[in-house]
Structure 1
Amino acid sequence: MEALLTGERVRLTLLDDHDIDHMTKWYNKTDYARHLDALPAKPKRAEDLRKWRDEAHEHDSHFLFAIKEADQFIGFVELDGILWTQQNAWLTIGIGDPDMYGKGYGSEAMELLIQFAFHELNLHRLQLTVFEYNNAARRLYEKLGFVHEGSHREFILRDGQAYDMLLYGLLRKDWNQKTQG
């Protein structure tokens, strides 16, 4: 029997302590932190990341998974802030190893998570934000069918320049049409 969240090359699993240790190394890289968060880039402690993971597993409105290629941890995906009455959630992805960029792992992981969100959790809408300068992520989201719905103009200041934070959304009916048609 196939595991619930397994694709052709990646699978989504529980985030374990070894994965957390990997993530602390990623947060020492400015580019990684600047793509995920509007807060200033800074290292994260393993105990803080473990607390984040543990809190996610304690709440029914937060689903957090490690992305594994074979047994190699390459990133995480999460559904957070689920509003069950409205059937919508926020979605996040982070891949930490630059050697894994552009190889389709993020796309496959996102497809698994979107399928899980719409068909296992019965959600209606997924949304995410991305900084204007993160072109690779924007291409990925648009390829998956996310629609640019708006912008928080000049939301983030980095290296003396102002960038927009973009809001993207994906509806279950649009995802079903894309994957079935």
Structure 2
Amino acid sequence: MFAEKPTLTGERVRLLPVGPEHVEGLITLISDPEVQRLTGSHGEVDHEVARQWYSTRGEHADRLDLAVMAGDEYVGEVVLNELDRHNLSCNLRIALIGARVFGKGYGTEAIELVLGHAFATTPLHRIGLGVFTFNDRARHVYKKIGFVEEGVQRDTLLWEGEWHDSVTMSVLRPEWQSRSRSLA
């Protein structure tokens, strides 16, 4: 479903298929303590493992991994993964490189570009995600884009001795198409 790995261009960001040239940015992203907390990422990633990971993403037709670029700078990644071909659904995840790029509209535009591409070029019906309840900024962005909160998964993240819930959200093809028409 994601055999083609497009380059998508907006006003603020350009989305490129990830490759080994983005590994340094990925290492910076996953090493940032705030990004780790917001994504619930425990542990460290080896540089060689990250290089191998980004080197092979283009080979997978069941996912779409795109680097978020602001000019020539890697500022994050947006991914469609966990494809369910039978039910025409997948998961979306996004991570930006840290506080220095938060609040600039990069994430909003990256998500809008990838959703627009997915709903225009695939038969996907549902794109879902999970976001921790403490991540108010992300929840606000997802709602603004058109994601709907579906429910809460309790105690999904143990972070520094405290349990945190996760909110399940999704956007459906008809909702996205209706929203896109109203913005045109």
Q: Same fold (TM over 0.5)?
A: yes
Partners of 2:34 and 2:98 within 8 A in 1: no
Cα separation, 2, equivalents of 1:55 and 1:166:
30
* Residue 11 of structure 2: aligned partner: 8
Structure 2 residue identity aligned to 1:110: I
Partners of 1:56 and 1:64 within 8 A in 2: yes
* Residue 19 of structure 1: aligned partner: 22
- List per-residue Cα deviations over 1:123-154 (Å, max 9, x = no partner): 11100011111111111111111011011112
Query: How does 1:67-146 map onto structure 2 within 5 Å?
Result: 67-146=68-147
Unaligned runs of 5+ in 2: 1-5
* Residue 3 of structure 2: aligned partner: none
Partners of 1:67 and 1:77 within 8 A in 2: yes
Q: Does the alignment pair 1:61 with 2:55?
A: no
Shift of 1:30: 1.8
- List per-residue Cα deviations over 1:41-85 (Å, max 9, x = no partner): x33122222333244322211110001111111110010011222
How many pairs does the alignment contain?
A: 177
Q: How large is the RMSD of aligned CA atoms in angstroms?
A: 1.6
Q: Structure 2-normalised TM-score?
A: 0.89
Partners of 1:15 and 1:64 within 8 A in 2: yes
Cα separation, 2, equivalents of 1:173 and 1:153:
29
Cα separation, 1, equivalents of 2:29 and 2:55:
19
Cα separation, 2, equivalents of 1:126 and 1:27:
24
* Residue 35 of structure 1: aligned partner: 38
Partners of 1:24 and 1:43 within 8 A in 2: no
Structure 1 residue identity aligned to 2:27: T
* Residue 150 of structure 2: aligned partner: 149
Cα separation, 2, equivalents of 1:6 and 1:32:
24
Percentage identity across paired residues of the two chains: 31
